[in-house]
C-alpha cells in the first residue's frame, strides 16, 4: 500500500517535469537540503504523497517543506492549499510552509525553522492502513 501512496508510478513524469522547472528559490533550498546536509536528515524533492506532489520531503521526520510562490496568493489557491494541508496532516505528515522568496532572503532562518522541527517527534497517522470495506 505504501508504494501506491508515496511516489506513485503514474506521477513520475510530473515529478520529473517539476524538478526540471524548479524555481531559483527551490534550487537554493535544495542545495542546502540535499546530501543530508541539514542535521544528517535526508530529503527528497518533488515527492508524490497520495494525490499531491510536495516540494521537499524528509522521510525520517515525516516532514514536508513547501515553498509558496505568487501562485498561492489567490482565494482559489488558498482553498486548494487548505484541502491539501488537511489531507497531508491527516495522513500523519508535518507540513512547514515558507514564502518562496524567504529561501533567498533568509536561508539561515528557513533552515533553523526546519531543524527546530527535528526536535519534536513526528506525528503518526491515526490509521496506518485504510479501513476494510464490508466489516472485518
Is 62 inside a domain boundary? yes
> What was the pLDDT predicted at 119?
77
Is 9 inside a domain boundary? yes
> What was the pLDDT predicted at 12?
76
Residue 28 domain boundaries: 2-117
The CB-side HSE value for 46 (13 A sphere, CA atoms) comes to 15
The alpha carbons of the chain give a radius of gyration, in whole angstroms, of 15
Is 129 inside a domain boundary? no
Q: Cell numbers for 23, please give them.
A: 524555481
> What was the pLDDT predicted at 125?
46
Range 55-81 average pLDDT = 82
More confident residue, 35 or 134: 35
Q: Write the pLDDT tens digit of every residue in 32-66.
A: 999 999 999 999 999 999 889 999 999 999 999 99
Q: Does the predicted TM-score (pTM) go above 0.85?
A: no
Is 130 inside a domain boundary? no
Confidence class for position 69, pLDDT limits 50, 70, 90: confident
Q: Write the pLDDT tens digit of every residue in 92-122.
A: 999 999 999 898 899 999 999 999 998 776 5
Is 36 inside a domain boundary? yes
Q: State the CATH number of the domain containing residue 47.
A: 3.40.960.10
Is 21 inside a domain boundary? yes
> What was the pLDDT predicted at 81?
86
Find all residues with CB under 8 Å of 76, minimum gap 6, and list them: none
Is 59 inside a domain boundary? yes
Which residue in the block uniquely carries the three cell numbers 508535518? 94
Which H helix or E strand runs over 55?
strand 52-58
Neighbouring C-beta atoms of residue 6, cutoff 10 Å: 14
> What was the pLDDT predicted at 14?
76
From residue 50, alpha-carbon distances to 7, 83, 90, 100, 116 in Å are 8, 13, 12, 23, 26
More confident residue, 23 or 5: 23
> What was the pLDDT predicted at 123?
56
Report how many domains make up the chain.
1
Amino acid at each position: 500500500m505504501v508504494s501506491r501512496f508515496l511516489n506513485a508510478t503514474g506521477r513520475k513524469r510530473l515529478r520529473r517535469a517539476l524538478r526540471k522547472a524548479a524555481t531559483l528559490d527551490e534550487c537554493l533550498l535544495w542545495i542546502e537540503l540535499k546530501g543530508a546536509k541539514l542535521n544528517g536528515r535526508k530529503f527528497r524533492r518533488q515527492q508524490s504523497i497520495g494525490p499531491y506532489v510536495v516540494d521537499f520531503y524528509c522521510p525520517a521526520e515525516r516532514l514536508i517543506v513547501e515553498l509558496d510562490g505568487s501562485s498561492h496568493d489567490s482565494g482559489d489557491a488558498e482553498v486548494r492549499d487548505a484541502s491539501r494541508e488537511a489531507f497531508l496532516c491527516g495522513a500523519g505528515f508535518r507540513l512547514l510552509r515558507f514564502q518562496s522568496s524567504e529561501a533567498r532572503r533568509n536561508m539561515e532562518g528557513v533552515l533553523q525553522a526546519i531543524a527546530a522541527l527535528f526536535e519534536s517527534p513526528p506525528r503518526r497517522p491515526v490509521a496506518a492502513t485504510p479501513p476494510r470495506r464490508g466489516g472485518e
